[in-house]
Amino acid sequence: MSVTLRQLRAFIAVVRTGSFTSAADSLHVTQSALSGLIKELEQTLGVQVFDRTTRRLELSDVGKEFYPLVDKLVLDLDGALGEINNLKALKKGLVRVAVPQLMACTLLPEVIKAYRLQYPNVQVKLVDCGVESVVSRVLSGEVDIGVGPERDLVSGVDAMPLFEMPFMLVFPKTHPLEKKRRVSWADAMRYPFIALQGQFSEKLALDLHASFRDLTLNPSNEVTFMTTALSMVSADLGVAACLPYAESLVKLYQLQMRRLHEPEVTRKFFVFSRHGRSPLPAAESFVEFLLAFVEREGMAKYK
C-alpha cells in the first residue's frame, strides 16, 4: 500500500485544527473516516505520527519531522494544480503566433486586440516574419501556431483552412482605372506592375498563364515587402496586387482597392500547428477566436 494524497490531507488537517472532530468538519468527512485515513497512514509508514491520550492529541517526534515536509509537498502540489486550472480557465497563458509581415501589420493586431478584451490575462506574442519561414517556425517549436498562405505540406505540420481570398488591385486615387467598374488582370498589366519577390510572383505568374496563356506577369519592380509596394503605388510608380485583409493598410496609404477579374485568382490561408502535439489551452482558444473573427468580419464570404 502506498501513501495517498487523502491520507496526507487528513494528517495536515488534524495538525492544523488540533482535533479529529474539527479536521473531519474541515474536510467534509465523518470522524470515523478521518480516523481511518490517519490509521492507514501510520500503518503504511510503520510509525505513529500522533501521540494520543484521553485528554490530548499531539504530534509524535516522527510526526514533528514529517509535518513540514508533507505540508510543503501538498502546498506545492496545490500550487501546481492551481496553475493548471488557471491555464484551463484562461486566467493566464501565452500564445506565440508567427505570421507574414503584411498580416502582422493588418489583420493580426485587430484579432489580438479583440482577443485580449475577452481574455485579458493571456499574452499573445506576435512574431512577424517572411512568408516562407512561418511553417519552419511552427515545426521548430519557436511558436505555437502560424498563419500563412498555402504551401507544400511539410511532414510534422498540420494545416487548418482559415479563409480563401481573391486578389485585389491597388492603385492611387484619380488613376485611370478608377473609372472602370470591373477591372481585369489585362487592365492591370497595362500599367507598371509592382510585385513581391519569390513565390508570390512565381505562383501568380503560373496561375495567370494557366488561365490565359497570353497573359504574362512582367513586373516593373519586385520588392520584398508589401509596405514597400504600397509606398511605390502611393508615389504613382505603378499598381500592385494584394489580398483583402490588407484593406486597413491600403486605406492608410490613401489608395483604392478593386477586385481583379479574368481570371479569378485566389489564395488560401491556413492555421499551421505541429502534428501530434496537444495545444495549450490558450493556443487552442486563440485559434477558435481567430476562426470566429474571420467569420464575423465577413472574410468568410471569400471562401
What sign has the CA pseudo-torsion 194, 240, 255, 247?
Answer: negative
Note whether 113 and 199 are same-domain residues: no
Note whether 68 and 144 are same-domain residues: no
Counting beta carbons within 10 angstroms of the beta carbon of residue 226, is it exposed (0 to 12), middle (13 to 18) or buried (19 or more)?
A: buried
Domain end, chosen from 88, 118, 146, is at 88
Q: What is the CATH number of the domain that holds 65?
A: 1.10.10.10
Q: What is the CATH number of the domain that holds 132?
A: 3.40.190.10
Domain end, chosen from 64, 88, 112, is at 88
d(C-alpha 121, C-alpha 3), whole Å: 37
Going by C-beta distance under 8 Å and a sequence separation of 6 or more, which residues neighbour residue 230? 170, 240, 242, 249, 250, 253, 255
Instruction: State pTM to two decimals.
Output: 0.74
- Three-state SS string over 81-113 comes to HHHHHHHHCCCCCEEEEEEEHHHHCCHHHHHHH
Note whether 137 and 64 are same-domain residues: no
**Amino acid 240: pLDDT:** 96
**Amino acid 299: pLDDT:** 61
Note whether 133 and 150 are same-domain residues: yes
Q: Are 101 and 43 in contact (CB under 8 A)?
A: no
Note whether 64 and 13 are same-domain residues: yes
Cell of 42: 501510520
Note whether 275 and 143 are same-domain residues: yes
pLDDT along the chain (303 residues), means of 10: 88 90 91 91 91 83 91 86 74 89 92 93 92 91 93 84 94 91 92 89 83 80 92 95 92 94 92 87 92 79 47
**Amino acid 199: pLDDT:** 81
Note whether 285 and 141 are same-domain residues: yes
Note whether 132 and 148 are same-domain residues: yes
**Amino acid 301: pLDDT:** 47
Whose grid coordinates read 519577390?
A: 197
Q: How many domains does the chain have?
A: 3
Note whether 158 and 230 are same-domain residues: no
d(C-alpha 39, C-alpha 208), whole Å: 81
Note whether 273 and 260 are same-domain residues: no
**Amino acid 217: pLDDT:** 82
Note whether 81 and 115 are same-domain residues: no
Domain that holds residue 201: 168-264
Note whether 173 and 144 are same-domain residues: no
Domain end, chosen from 55, 88, 121, is at 88
